[in-house]
Structures are given as C-alpha cells and as structure tokens.
Amino acid sequence: MNVLPILLAILVAIHSAAADDDCQDDVYQGCQDKLNAALGLSDPQPWHSPESFRYQIESQYENSPLDGTRKVCKAFREFKVCMGDQYQKCINPLHFVLSSVTPYSAFQFVSTFNTLQYTCGAGFQTMLRQYNCMKNAWNTANSQQLNACRTVFERRSNDIPESACSFASTYLDCWENHFRDVCGKGTEDAQFWACEYSRINVFTRFPQCSTKCVLPYYGGIIG
C-alpha cells in the first residue's frame, strides 16, 4: 500500500487546521494563570497533564461539596469572562493537538472544561442539594472507583475507537450505579447527575454515541 498520498493528505489537513487556529495564546495563558491561582493549581500548562488537572478540580468536590463547588464554579465563571470569545477558539482539542499535545490528552483536558460547564450550570443545584450524597460519593476511597471506571473507558476507547459507544454504556452505568449504591434511596437526581457528568466526557470525543441518561426510580427508570 502506498502511504505517501495518505501522509500528504494528513500534512495538508494539519497545515489548514493550523492556519484556522485563532486562539490567542497570550490571552489564554493569562486566564489559565488566574484560574490556577483561584483554585491553588500548580501546573502553568495543565494540558500536558490532564489527569492531574482533572483530579485537582474534582478534589475540591471531595474536600467540600458545598464550598468546593462554589469555589470551582466562581473561578470557572471568571475564567470564561476572562477568555471572552477566545474560550471556544482555545478550549477545543484541535488547538491543543496543534500545540504538540496527544489527541488522547487533548480530549481529556477539554472534557474537564465541558464537565465544568455542566457542574456549574444545569448540575449546580443538584450538587448543592445532594450535599451528603456528593460528599460520600466523592470521598477518597469512592472516587478511586469512579476514576477507575473512567480510566478503563478512556483507554479502551482510545485503543478500540470503533467500540467506544459500547464501552461508554458500561462507563455510564458504573458511575450511576456507584452513586446509587453509596447514596441510596431518595438521591435519584444525584444518580442522574453522575450519569450526565460521565456522558459529557464520552460526548467530548465520541459525539456519535447515542448514550443518554434518564432519571432513575426504584424498580426501573422513567424517561
């Protein structure tokens, strides 16, 4: 097989993408620095270590679901204001790939921002209302299980992308069932939150997957 035409096509695509990358890196770095300062994050270029970045964000929920969520969301809102129209231009996987980050890491990094959109938006009231549930679900021992389920999905879907949607179903079930087992009856909205939080991670890289979340009730699910 002659791979030269394929390589040429890839190079042309990368060159075209680079020309269309309108992210102003100085603006982004300044806003990232402010976000880091607000949340006590140490890495000035966290896109190179996306799992560590994600862990430091989520540890805020573990330490204090109420104050931690408010702190994270305040910092995130200020970050978006700082970024302005640069947010969409900079916080996308292509920009980081063009900055020599692997696609795997680029999608991990961007997915953290996408989950912040949910946590600080549609999922915000659930985080606050289900304080005890969130505290128990995110504590160190339990969060290790959540991370394990997520890591399995990310690695397997990266290795076998054609099966990503199948892996996604297992991943979403893992998170939702974890919240159900830890939090118990009366926390159905928290279980939905967990499913949706993990679904956003899936959708960031695999938007073709039709996985969806429905509000559970004991004895079945309701749409």
pLDDT in tens, 112-159: 999 999 999 999 999 999 988 998 898 867 788 999 999 999 999 999
pLDDT averaged over every residue in the chain: 88
| 100, 141: one domain | no
Percent over 70 (pLDDT), the chain? 87
Domain-embedded: residue 171 = yes
Q: What is the pLDDT of residue 7?
A: 36
Q: For residues 123 and 213, what is the distance between their CA atoms, to the nearest angstrom?
A: 13
Domain-embedded: residue 116 = yes
Domain-embedded: residue 147 = yes
Where does a domain end: 121, 142, 172? 121
Where does a domain end: 89, 121, 153? 121
Q: What is the pLDDT of residue 139?
A: 84
| 148, 221: one domain | yes
| 67, 113: one domain | yes
Where does a domain end: 121, 150, 173? 121
Q: How many domains does the chain have?
A: 2
What 3-state DSSP class applies to 120? coil
φ and ψ at 64, to 5 degrees?
Answer: -165, 100
Q: Minimal CA–CA distance to 201: which of 113, 79, 76?
A: 113
Domain-embedded: residue 70 = yes
Q: What is the pLDDT of residue 57?
A: 94
| 207, 134: one domain | yes
The pTM score is 0.85
Domain-embedded: residue 14 = no
Tokens of 151: 């890591």
Residues in contact with 184: Cβ distance below 8 Å, sequence separation at least 6, in sequence order: none
Q: What is the mean pLDDT of residues 60-80?
A: 91
Query: The domain containing residue 33 runs over which residues?
Result: 23-121
What 3-state DSSP class applies to 222? strand
